[in-house]
Protein backbone atom coordinates (compact mmCIF):
# COMPACT_ATOMS: atom_id res chain seq x y z
CA UNK A 1 0.00 0.00 0.00
CA UNK A 2 2.48 2.61 -1.08
CA UNK A 3 3.15 5.06 -3.89
CA UNK A 4 6.76 5.18 -4.88
CA UNK A 5 8.81 5.17 -8.04
CA UNK A 6 11.52 2.54 -7.77
CA UNK A 7 14.76 2.33 -9.68
CA UNK A 8 14.32 -1.23 -10.85
CA UNK A 9 16.99 -3.75 -11.58
CA UNK A 10 16.25 -5.82 -14.66
CA UNK A 11 16.74 -9.15 -12.93
CA UNK A 12 15.54 -12.68 -13.52
CA UNK A 13 16.63 -15.87 -15.18
CA UNK A 14 15.39 -17.40 -18.45
CA UNK A 15 13.85 -20.70 -17.40
CA UNK A 16 12.66 -23.80 -19.20
CA UNK A 17 9.13 -24.74 -18.09
CA UNK A 18 8.50 -28.24 -16.80
CA UNK A 19 5.37 -30.35 -16.54
CA UNK A 20 5.30 -31.00 -12.81
CA UNK A 21 2.35 -32.73 -11.10
CA UNK A 22 -0.40 -30.41 -9.90
CA UNK A 23 0.37 -28.58 -6.65
CA UNK A 24 3.95 -29.93 -6.76
CA UNK A 25 7.29 -28.35 -7.46
CA UNK A 26 10.19 -29.71 -9.49
CA UNK A 27 13.52 -28.14 -10.40
CA UNK A 28 13.65 -26.37 -13.75
CA UNK A 29 16.82 -26.03 -15.74
CA UNK A 30 18.56 -22.69 -16.15
CA UNK A 31 21.95 -21.32 -17.04
CA UNK A 32 24.97 -23.28 -15.71
CA UNK A 33 25.76 -22.17 -12.18
CA UNK A 34 22.43 -20.35 -11.79
CA UNK A 35 20.33 -20.86 -8.62
CA UNK A 36 17.89 -23.75 -8.89
CA UNK A 37 14.39 -22.35 -9.28
CA UNK A 38 11.33 -24.55 -9.16
CA UNK A 39 8.32 -24.84 -11.43
CA UNK A 40 5.13 -24.53 -9.38
CA UNK A 41 2.11 -26.52 -10.53
CA UNK A 42 1.43 -28.37 -13.77
CA UNK A 43 0.51 -25.54 -16.17
CA UNK A 44 3.18 -24.19 -18.50
CA UNK A 45 3.89 -20.48 -18.59
CA UNK A 46 3.64 -20.54 -22.39
CA UNK A 47 0.12 -21.95 -22.23
CA UNK A 48 -1.03 -19.27 -19.81
CA UNK A 49 0.55 -16.52 -21.91
CA UNK A 50 -1.11 -17.86 -25.03
CA UNK A 51 -4.49 -17.66 -23.29
CA UNK A 52 -3.97 -13.97 -22.41
CA UNK A 53 -2.46 -12.92 -25.73
CA UNK A 54 -5.58 -10.96 -26.69
CA UNK A 55 -6.91 -8.20 -24.44
CA UNK A 56 -10.53 -7.33 -23.91
CA UNK A 57 -10.09 -4.25 -21.75
CA UNK A 58 -12.25 -4.18 -18.61
CA UNK A 59 -10.70 -1.10 -17.00
CA UNK A 60 -12.09 2.24 -18.14
CA UNK A 61 -8.60 3.69 -18.29
CA UNK A 62 -4.97 2.62 -18.09
CA UNK A 63 -2.42 2.44 -15.30
CA UNK A 64 1.11 3.71 -14.77
CA UNK A 65 3.86 1.33 -13.68
CA UNK A 66 5.43 4.05 -11.49
CA UNK A 67 4.70 7.64 -10.53
CA UNK A 68 5.52 9.86 -13.50
CA UNK A 69 5.43 7.02 -16.05
CA UNK A 70 2.89 7.13 -18.90
CA UNK A 71 -0.42 5.37 -18.32
CA UNK A 72 -0.15 2.45 -20.74
CA UNK A 73 -1.28 -0.67 -18.85
CA UNK A 74 -4.89 -1.86 -19.27
CA UNK A 75 -6.61 -4.46 -17.14
CA UNK A 76 -7.98 -7.13 -19.46
CA UNK A 77 -10.58 -9.77 -18.76
CA UNK A 78 -12.27 -12.98 -19.74
CA UNK A 79 -15.18 -14.81 -18.16
CA UNK A 80 -12.76 -16.59 -15.84
CA UNK A 81 -10.03 -14.10 -14.99
CA UNK A 82 -8.63 -10.59 -15.16
CA UNK A 83 -5.02 -9.97 -16.18
CA UNK A 84 -2.37 -7.39 -16.96
CA UNK A 85 1.31 -7.31 -17.92
CA UNK A 86 3.49 -4.77 -16.14
CA UNK A 87 6.62 -4.38 -14.04
CA UNK A 88 7.11 -5.73 -10.53
CA UNK A 89 7.81 -3.37 -7.64
CA UNK A 90 8.51 -4.97 -4.27
CA UNK A 91 5.89 -4.76 -1.51
CA UNK A 92 7.51 -5.37 1.89
CA UNK A 93 4.53 -4.24 3.98
CA UNK A 94 2.87 -6.25 6.72
CA UNK A 95 4.36 -8.05 9.68
CA UNK A 96 7.97 -7.04 10.32
CA UNK A 97 10.66 -9.58 9.46
CA UNK A 98 14.44 -9.57 8.93
CA UNK A 99 13.79 -8.92 5.23
CA UNK A 100 10.98 -6.40 5.60
CA UNK A 101 11.13 -3.70 8.25
CA UNK A 102 11.67 0.03 8.63
CA UNK A 103 15.41 -0.48 8.33
CA UNK A 104 15.37 -2.40 5.06
CA UNK A 105 12.51 -0.38 3.53
CA UNK A 106 12.23 3.37 4.18
CA UNK A 107 8.55 3.29 3.15
CA UNK A 108 7.71 0.23 5.25
CA UNK A 109 4.17 -0.07 6.61
CA UNK A 110 3.30 -2.69 9.23
CA UNK A 111 -0.19 -3.16 7.72
CA UNK A 112 -1.64 -4.81 4.63
CA UNK A 113 -5.11 -4.20 3.21
CA UNK A 114 -6.08 -7.81 3.93
CA UNK A 115 -5.41 -9.96 6.97
CA UNK A 116 -4.85 -13.64 7.52
CA UNK A 117 -7.30 -15.93 9.27
CA UNK A 118 -6.16 -14.98 12.79
CA UNK A 119 -6.54 -11.25 12.08
CA UNK A 120 -2.83 -10.51 11.81
CA UNK A 121 -1.41 -8.69 8.82
CA UNK A 122 0.33 -10.70 6.10
CA UNK A 123 4.04 -11.46 6.04
CA UNK A 124 5.52 -10.22 2.75
CA UNK A 125 8.79 -12.07 3.33
CA UNK A 126 7.18 -15.52 3.49
CA UNK A 127 3.81 -15.30 1.70
CA UNK A 128 3.63 -14.88 -2.07
CA UNK A 129 1.01 -12.22 -2.66
CA UNK A 130 0.28 -9.54 -5.26
CA UNK A 131 -0.96 -5.97 -4.95
CA UNK A 132 -3.98 -4.66 -6.86
CA UNK A 133 -4.71 -0.96 -7.39
CA UNK A 134 -7.15 0.58 -4.96
CA UNK A 135 -10.69 0.75 -6.34
CA UNK A 136 -11.23 3.87 -8.47
CA UNK A 137 -12.90 5.15 -11.60
CA UNK A 138 -10.20 3.41 -13.61
CA UNK A 139 -11.10 -0.03 -12.31
CA UNK A 140 -12.81 -1.53 -9.27
CA UNK A 141 -11.31 -4.97 -8.67
CA UNK A 142 -14.18 -5.92 -6.37
CA UNK A 143 -16.67 -5.62 -9.22
CA UNK A 144 -14.69 -8.29 -11.10
CA UNK A 145 -14.59 -10.94 -8.38
CA UNK A 146 -11.19 -9.90 -7.02
CA UNK A 147 -10.94 -9.61 -3.24
CA UNK A 148 -8.47 -10.45 -0.48
CA UNK A 149 -7.28 -14.04 -0.81
CA UNK A 150 -8.17 -14.34 -4.51
CA UNK A 151 -5.70 -16.61 -6.28
CA UNK A 152 -3.35 -15.37 -9.00
CA UNK A 153 -0.88 -16.98 -11.39
CA UNK A 154 2.18 -14.76 -11.81
CA UNK A 155 4.20 -15.49 -14.96
CA UNK A 156 7.76 -14.33 -15.54
CA UNK A 157 10.45 -15.62 -17.89
CA UNK A 158 9.00 -19.10 -18.33
CA UNK A 159 7.95 -19.66 -14.75
CA UNK A 160 4.57 -19.75 -13.01
CA UNK A 161 4.24 -18.75 -9.36
CA UNK A 162 0.92 -18.87 -7.52
CA UNK A 163 0.05 -16.09 -5.10
CA UNK A 164 -2.92 -14.48 -3.39
CA UNK A 165 -4.25 -10.93 -3.55
CA UNK A 166 -2.84 -9.58 -0.31
CA UNK A 167 -2.64 -5.80 -0.51
CA UNK A 168 -3.91 -2.76 -2.37
CA UNK A 169 -1.83 0.09 -3.76
CA UNK A 170 -2.23 3.53 -5.33
CA UNK A 171 -5.30 3.97 -7.51
CA UNK A 172 -3.28 4.91 -10.58
CA UNK A 173 -0.34 2.48 -10.42
CA UNK A 174 -0.15 -1.25 -11.17
CA UNK A 175 2.56 -3.89 -10.98
CA UNK A 176 3.60 -4.88 -7.46
CA UNK A 177 4.05 -8.08 -5.46
CA UNK A 178 5.47 -9.24 -2.16
CA UNK A 179 9.10 -9.93 -1.36
CA UNK A 180 8.31 -13.67 -1.35
CA UNK A 181 6.70 -13.56 -4.81
CA UNK A 182 9.71 -11.82 -6.34
CA UNK A 183 12.19 -14.10 -4.64
CA UNK A 184 10.36 -17.21 -5.86
CA UNK A 185 10.44 -15.94 -9.45
CA UNK A 186 14.16 -15.19 -9.38
CA UNK A 187 13.53 -11.43 -9.27
CA UNK A 188 15.68 -9.36 -6.92
CA UNK A 189 13.39 -8.81 -3.90
CA UNK A 190 15.18 -5.83 -2.31
CA UNK A 191 12.49 -3.21 -1.52
CA UNK A 192 15.01 -0.40 -2.00
CA UNK A 193 15.86 -1.14 -5.63
CA UNK A 194 14.78 -4.62 -6.59
CA UNK A 195 11.99 -5.78 -8.85
CA UNK A 196 11.97 -5.82 -12.63
CA UNK A 197 10.88 -3.09 -15.07
CA UNK A 198 8.68 -5.19 -17.36
CA UNK A 199 7.57 -8.62 -18.48
CA UNK A 200 5.48 -9.81 -15.53
CA UNK A 201 1.98 -11.11 -16.27
CA UNK A 202 -0.55 -11.23 -13.43
CA UNK A 203 -3.61 -13.46 -13.94
CA UNK A 204 -6.22 -13.32 -11.16
CA UNK A 205 -8.96 -15.94 -11.18
CA UNK A 206 -12.35 -14.40 -10.50
CA UNK A 207 -14.19 -15.33 -7.30
CA UNK A 208 -11.39 -17.69 -6.26
CA UNK A 209 -9.96 -17.95 -2.77
CA UNK A 210 -7.13 -19.61 -0.91
CA UNK A 211 -8.34 -20.97 2.42
CA UNK A 212 -6.92 -19.68 4.63
CA UNK A 213 -5.34 -16.72 2.87
CA UNK A 214 -1.95 -17.43 4.48
CA UNK A 215 -1.84 -21.00 3.12
CA UNK A 216 0.40 -21.03 0.07
CA UNK A 217 -0.39 -24.73 -0.38
CA UNK A 218 -4.05 -23.83 -0.83
CA UNK A 219 -3.14 -21.09 -3.33
CA UNK A 220 -1.13 -23.61 -5.37
CA UNK A 221 -3.88 -26.23 -5.29
CA UNK A 222 -6.68 -23.84 -6.23
CA UNK A 223 -4.54 -21.90 -8.70
CA UNK A 224 -3.24 -24.94 -10.54
CA UNK A 225 -6.73 -26.36 -10.95
CA UNK A 226 -8.14 -23.08 -12.26
CA UNK A 227 -5.12 -22.46 -14.47
CA UNK A 228 -5.64 -25.81 -16.19
CA UNK A 229 -9.27 -25.00 -16.78
CA UNK A 230 -8.33 -21.53 -17.98
CA UNK A 231 -5.88 -22.71 -20.63
CA UNK A 232 -8.40 -25.29 -21.81
CA UNK A 233 -10.92 -22.49 -22.37
CA UNK A 234 -13.46 -24.41 -20.29
CA UNK A 235 -14.73 -21.39 -18.35
CA UNK A 236 -13.71 -22.14 -14.79
CA UNK A 237 -16.22 -19.74 -13.21
CA UNK A 238 -14.83 -20.53 -9.78
CA UNK A 239 -16.76 -19.91 -6.62
CA UNK A 240 -15.39 -19.37 -3.15
CA UNK A 241 -12.50 -21.70 -2.42
CA UNK A 242 -11.91 -22.23 -6.14
CA UNK A 243 -14.62 -24.86 -6.64
CA UNK A 244 -15.52 -24.78 -10.36
CA UNK A 245 -19.07 -23.85 -11.28
CA UNK A 246 -19.07 -26.26 -14.21
CA UNK A 247 -16.92 -29.21 -15.29
CA UNK A 248 -13.51 -28.82 -16.86
CA UNK A 249 -12.96 -29.86 -20.47
CA UNK A 250 -11.09 -32.93 -19.23
CA UNK A 251 -11.33 -35.01 -16.03
CA UNK A 252 -9.53 -33.70 -12.97
CA UNK A 253 -6.53 -35.62 -11.73
CA UNK A 254 -7.31 -37.97 -8.86
CA UNK A 255 -7.70 -36.19 -5.57
CA UNK A 256 -7.68 -32.63 -6.97
CA UNK A 257 -11.39 -31.96 -6.69
CA UNK A 258 -11.56 -31.82 -2.90
CA UNK A 259 -13.69 -28.95 -1.64
CA UNK A 260 -11.93 -25.98 -0.02
CA UNK A 261 -13.97 -24.74 2.91
CA UNK A 262 -14.97 -21.12 2.40
CA UNK A 263 -13.75 -18.65 4.96
CA UNK A 264 -14.25 -14.96 5.29
CA UNK A 265 -11.09 -12.94 4.92
CA UNK A 266 -10.84 -9.69 6.80
CA UNK A 267 -10.45 -6.66 4.59
CA UNK A 268 -8.83 -3.52 5.89
CA UNK A 269 -8.99 -0.02 4.49
CA UNK A 270 -7.99 0.15 0.83
CA UNK A 271 -6.98 3.75 0.65
CA UNK A 272 -9.33 4.34 -2.29
Written as one string, the DSSP assignment of 209-240 is: --SSTT-HHHHHHHHHHHHHHHHHT------G
Contacts of 149 (CB under 8 A, 6+ apart): 114, 164, 165, 166, 209, 210, 211, 212, 213, 265
Alpha carbon 139 to its chain centroid, in Å, reads 17
CA end-to-end distance (rounded Å), the chain: 11
Predicted pLDDT at 233: 81
- Segments of the chain scoring below 50 in pLDDT: 1-36, 234-272
Could you tell me the CA-to-CA distances from 86 to 172, 183, 208 in Å, in that order?
13, 17, 22
Question: 148-163: b or e for each residue (b if 16 or more CB lie within 10 Å)?
Answer: bbbbbbbbbbbbbbbb
pLDDT confidence of residue 39: 73
Predicted confidence at residue 254, as pLDDT, reads 33
C-beta separation of 267 from 147 below 8 A: yes
Q: Report pLDDT for 122.
A: 98
For residue 183, which phi and psi values (nearest 5 degrees)?
-60, -40
Instruction: Identify the bridge partners of residue 37 per DSSP, sorted by sequence position.
Output: 28
Instruction: Give strand ranges (E) for the chain.
Output: 25-28, 37-40, 76-77, 81-91, 129-133, 151-156, 159-169, 176-178, 196-205
- Whose CA is closest to 11, among 190, 201, 202, 203? 190
What is the predicted pLDDT for the residue at 37? 55
Amino acid sequence: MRAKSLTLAAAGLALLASTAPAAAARPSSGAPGAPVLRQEGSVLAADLLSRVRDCTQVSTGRYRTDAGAPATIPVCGTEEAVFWTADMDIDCDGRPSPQCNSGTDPLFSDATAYTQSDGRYLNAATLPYIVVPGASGIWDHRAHGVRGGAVAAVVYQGRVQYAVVGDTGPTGIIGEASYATAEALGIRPDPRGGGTPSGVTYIVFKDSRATPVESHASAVEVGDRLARQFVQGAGAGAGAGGAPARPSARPEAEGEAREIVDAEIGEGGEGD
